[in-house]
Amino acid sequence: MDRVESLAMDPDIRRAGTLPAWVYSDADVHRLQRERVFLRSWQWVTDADRVKVPGAVCPVTVLEGCLDEPLVLSRDRDDKLHCLSNVCTHRGTLVCEREGVESFMRCRYHGRRFALDGKFLSMPEFDDVENFPSPSDDLPRVPFGQLGKLLFASLSPSCPFDELVADLRARCGFLPFERAVFDTTRSREYLVHANWALYCDNYLEGFHIPYVHGGLAQAIDYANYRCELFRWSTLQLGITQPGVECFELPAGHPDQDMRVGAYYWWLYPNTMLNLYPWGVSLNLVRPLAVDRTKVSFLSFVWDASRLDRGAGSSLDRVEREDEVIVESVQRGTRSRLYERGRYSPARESGVHRFHTLLVEAMKRG
């Protein structure tokens, strides 16, 4: 991938050019990103309510359609949560295939048993095997992190989970994440015919709001819309118009003098947490192919009385408007006459930060 190795991103947004168009349509780049970007990233895997009680087990898949790594979350009898490989250490069968409450996990292929913390327990017909069992017979442990009820896992993290969410916690830790309840009726999935990074590009700037989102533009004070950059995340502050639903911020909060209607957090590389007075809209961007992306909108509600008001209303309409424009960009980046653009320092600092992190990861090897 000589072209990837030649990529460079000027740290000064005033001089920098955007990613070259070929990054969004090259199948080799897509495969490279799977190993160098997503394998080392933190991905949301499930809601902690699914493993709430001792003995609970819950199979999950990390980044379905891209990494497709089978894991199992379990809570042992001492009420400790574990994230484990869901692949039997004997012949590679899935160990846990449905969620429930168990005393142990048992592979249905040859009967190997594991404790809820992943420790090997027993195996029939293995009496004469030398140096058995060994630590390699335990289910491998996988790093995981928790933000309220949101559980994340990483196969080979490029940073600790607490570092990834440190700035979010510092700014929005006053919100009742632990009370958020998953609402299936308000959750949706969308298939976008575009590269996953184009979808993130679009999310990371409010530049397009007045042109693409007429309804949202009426709720958001675009003149005061701003983006703040952190090491592994960005924050876009959605300041509302007078009379529009906004947060009741605690005394001493850095934003206490502003009418914040939404905190739009992006976590590297593909997770968005849109925080509204009613709760969280968790947006997961899952690459399926170089030009196919599944976007999941998952709603977690902590105050149902504030639903359908302000910036956090009409999410389906906003998503469909984004989908149309991103698919148009995908078609445009295939043009033989377009190579790359420039950034608006006032409005596209979040996109520049994302591209910088993406180039760093792809060249890291």
**Residue 312 pLDDT class (50, 70, 90 cuts):** low
**Per residue in 100-109, pLDDT tens?**
999 999 999 9
DSSP state of 38: I
**Residue 308 pLDDT class (50, 70, 90 cuts):** confident
How far is CA 277 from each of CA 261, 304, 305, 313, rounded to the nearest angstrom? Answer: 7, 9, 10, 11
| Domain spanning 46-153: CATH 2.102.10.10 | yes
Single-letter amino acid, residue 68: D
Cβ proximity of 83 and 116 under 8 Å: no
What pLDDT, on a 0 to 100 scale, did the predictor assign at position 224? 81
Equal fold, 46-153 vs 162-364:
no
- Least confident stretch, 83-97, 208-222, 257-271, 285-299: 208-222
The C-alpha atoms of residue 267 and residue 154 are separated, in whole angstroms, by 13
Q: Residue 52 CB: number of other CB atoms within 10 A?
A: 12
Q: Which two tokens stand for residue 325?
A: 């424009």
In degrees and rounded to multiples of 5, residue 177 shows phi and psi of -55, -35
**Per residue in 246-293, pLDDT tens?**
999 999 999 999 999 999 999 999 999 999 999 999 999 999 999 999
Find the mean pLDDT for residues 62-72. Answer: 97
The C-alpha atoms of residue 70 and residue 95 are separated, in whole angstroms, by 10
For residue 219, pLDDT over 80 is answered with no
For residue 138, pLDDT over 70 is answered with yes
Task: Please state, for a pLDDT cut of 90, what percent of the chain lies above it.
Answer: 84
Q: Are strands 56-62 and 100-101 parallel, antiparallel or unpaired?
A: antiparallel
The residue written with tokens 């060249």 in the block is 363
**Residue 365 pLDDT class (50, 70, 90 cuts):** low
3-state DSSP call for residue 19?
Answer: coil
| CATH fold of 162-364 | Naphthalene 1,2-dioxygenase Alpha Subunit; Chain A, domain 1 (3.90.380)
pTM: 0.94
What pLDDT, on a 0 to 100 scale, did the predictor assign at position 213? 77
The C-alpha atoms of residue 45 and residue 278 are separated, in whole angstroms, by 22
Q: Which two tokens stand for residue 240?
A: 């509302």
The C-alpha atoms of residue 133 and residue 68 are separated, in whole angstroms, by 28
**Residue 320 pLDDT class (50, 70, 90 cuts):** confident
Query: Is residue 99 classed exposed, middle or buried when 0-12, 13-18 and 19+ CB atoms within 10 A define those classes?
Result: middle
DSSP string of 131-188, one letter each residue: T-S-GGGSPPB--EEEETTEEEE-SS-SS-HHHHSHHHHHHHTTS-GGG-EEEEEEEE
Find the mean pLDDT for residues 213-218. Answer: 75
The C-alpha atoms of residue 216 and residue 314 are separated, in whole angstroms, by 8
Longest dimension (CA), the chain: 76
**Per residue in 6-25, pLDDT tens?**
899 999 999 999 999 999 99
Domain spans of the chain, in order of start: 46-153, 162-364
Residues facing residue 342 across a β-bridge: 17
Residues facing residue 61 across a β-bridge: 70
